[in-house]
Structure 1
Amino acid sequence: MNDFNITSGGSIDENLDGDLTPTEPWTWKNAGSKIIGFVSSSVIPMIPGLIAGGMLKVVLLLIVTFIDSNFATSSSYLLLSAIADAPFYFMPIFVAYGAANKLGATPIYAMASAATLLHGSFIGLVTAGDPITLFGISVRLLSYGTSLLPALLIAILAYYVEKFLNKIIPNIFKGIFVGMGTIFVAGSLGFIILGPLGNMIGQGIASLFMFLEGTVGPIAVGFLAAALPWMVMTGMHTALAPFMTQLLTNPGYDAMIRPGFLLHNMAEGGAVIGVTARTKDKAKRGEFLSIAIGCIVAGVKGKTVIKLPTICL
């Protein structure tokens, strides 16, 4: 993509190669951490939106349960439910945005390519259930709303396609053909290969966590809660965000990661409350109490993890 200088009529090429930013080379030793870091960086920007939608769902549920059960049949409820569901249903677009930003690509190309999986025409074909093809190649009838990995793979492909096209297309034609070529290739392969592949990987991850839940569920949650203080101190807890998001997509609930975070927050907040009750320093008592409330109520655990050892001393 180019920004055109109207005064001179020239164009300025965007640097998609990342030459000015030194990066650590890929090795077998750091491949895992790099992949997890990339996925986490792609997912984390959309988490506030998921929290916002989830909280609105809770408010609507409380209204229907305790105030007016007939509200569930009103148009206001349906429209508010659509607002609450939007961050989840359009998750592929948000994931593509985060991935493109992390890669240094043009976000709109990745977002447009991922959005094709949610287009009404494709949804209609999936609902009809009749076999469909693209260029004579069979396309699987899958629903990609709330999905994570298909959009992530599409965003990666869009980055490399855009990078390649910027190298081979003359400057004068880049504004016309780079974007078109990027969404054409990434969108088409999203239907044929990347969408089904991401769906398959996501189902595998969900099956693994469901297996752990069914066999050693409570023990696994306990171990996760115990490990979280060290994970938070090193920033490793962010690596769990993609798996949590995938579980919310398939099977639709998270019985391991979020309960582990909840236990961790309650335990650390309770420890700080205990110290608050024993300390005689009024200034510290107020500070400790605010830290405990932030950890238990809002899940702000970073300060608790850092301050807890010194608090206990």
Structure 2
Amino acid sequence: MIVPRTGHRAQVITELDPTRPAVTCVVASRNRREDLLASLPRHEAPVVLVDNASTDDTVAAVRAARPEVTVVPLPDNTGALARTVGVERAGTPFVAFTDDDSWWAPGDLAKAVEIMRAHPRLGLLAARILVGPEERLDPVCEVMAASPLGTDPDLPGPSLLGFVACAALVRAEAFTAAGGFDPVVRFPGEEERLALDLAAAGWGLAYVDEVTVHHHPSTRRDASAVRQAGLWRSRVLTALMRYPLRDLAGQVLSALRAGRPGLRGLAGALPRVPAALRRRRVLPTTVMSGVRELRS
């Protein structure tokens, strides 16, 4: 059941308990105080902010300006694992992952929850992303809309094996059963391992163009070369945890061929190899076939 509040804001509430929200916005952040103070008022559901050991006084500033926000300060930077902490704290059946520089369009979070409820196998909904004040369509949305995996009859849009974390709504039970975000694949590129495990467990992931997330990229971002190396690190670690050996070898070879970013990514992955091997669980053939189709 969706009940609008006065004005443009809306709150999604549960059918069994009309006083309890059905969805929480979980934000993981580090050293982006000003971005947070600008984006937090835009969220149309309760917010859990998990702070990754910021040194810019984020925690105090948010607590003073937005006392309704649940702030969870972590002593260390845990990367994407902070979102898993946020889901545990949220306690709602649905969780929207919104970054410190993104937010759902007015009314669309409530609409997304309605879509999730209407499609019980849907474990993750990926929204359309509009970038910046000019609202440019993020190119990744065109890729997701044209997914070669097609659209299953019980899903509301094209099937996926990946997503963008700042614009995703998850079913909490599916997220938790799939292990959430892990301590091995931190950030960026943390989405693939979770997407693969959701699919392996039988949950659907779909791109839904009817709902929108706004993303105004923070000015406090890693340089492009650093980010590309991080993406290769995550790809290799994900492959080590989930791919059959021949596909793992192909991913390592791709990293080698990518030049400096790939080499830096491989070097960054090395210290985490033992932890990745402890979590290794090869994907079912059906899911791995989809991975190969997407990479072909």
Q: Tell me whether the two structures share a fold, i.e. TM-score over 0.5.
A: no
TM-score normalised per structure 2: 0.24
More helix by share: 1
More strand by share: 2
TM-score normalised per structure 1: 0.23
